[in-house]
Amino acid sequence: MDDGPGAEIPVALLRQFYAYDRDLPLEAETSPAPGLDFGPGLRAERFEITSVHDARVPGLVLWDPAREGPRPAVLVAHPATLGKSDDYVLWPAQEWAGRGAVCVLIDQAGHGERATRPITMEDFLRYPQRRAAMTQQTAVDWMRALDYAVTRPEVDAERVGFVGFSMGGMRGAPFVGLDGRVGAAVFCISGAARPLPAAAGEAERLAQRITDPATFAPLMDRPTLVVAGRGDDVVPPESAQRFFEAMPEPREIDWGPYGHWDFMPAGLSPVWPFIERHLFG
């Protein structure tokens, strides 16, 4: 394998890096979601499952129990420094569950209930090997969360979507690219990795290539939508554009007049119509 800058990584190697034992017991535990009350219309349940490296992954499921039969599942990935129980992701998940989806959220590696110390953006960006390890863990955690979700009677295993915000979309890109069960995906204020400085070592370059969303974009041969801000100073427009251009058709990109920190609520406007069209149509 050519490890030089710009070299492509064989897909077989990518699949091995993100592989897990399919018969590993989920050891799922469920309980009422503490502190969450969405009124009489929706139900919220906390779950916990086993993933790679013996990690226990906590998550939430939101659905409308009054609706009959299996329905589409939408996996919702939070941004950096937040978790599954933050309003940033709970608010849209609640809206989409009210419209008929079963929404599944997890705490990604190092976040929410899994955080072992305070998280800062500086810390998140500083350590490339730690970031790569957490991306690998989180991508497989999503595969395991989907393994669990499709065991639930409310979920139609043939209609699965993913919506990731910022880091959630970037860590979710390997999951979407490698797991063909995902039928449609939306990446909000997410994009390709930024170019590394010239002084970066080869180990750092390899760590970035094996986790860069642009590496996995060519494998996303299902409907995809990139929602990007023209004023984003964290995931700049060129990163979003490069991510989008690496995707095959069918793909869409929606540009908005916002930045990274003021994405909500205007940036959400194209998300549900896309999900509805591809999972409910």
What confidence tens digit (pLDDT) does each residue in 10-19 have?
999 999 999 9
Amino acid at 155: V
Cα–Cα dist 240/188, whole Å? 9
Q: Map out the domains of the chain with their CATH numbers.
A: 11-280 (3.40.50.1820)
Provide the CB-side half-sphere exposure for 188 (13 A, CA).
30
For 254, phi and psi rounded to 5 degrees? -125, 115
Q: How far apart are CA 138 and CA 143, in angstroms?
A: 9
75: number of Cβ within 10 Å: 26
Distance between CA atoms of residues 215 and 207, nearest Å: 12
| pTM of the predicted model as reported, rounded to 2 decimal places | 0.94
Whether pLDDT at 168 is above 80: yes
Poorest-confidence range of 18-22, 112-116, 235-239, 277-281?
112-116
Q: How far apart are CA 58 and CA 256, in angstroms?
A: 33
Distance CA 191, CA 228 (A): 8
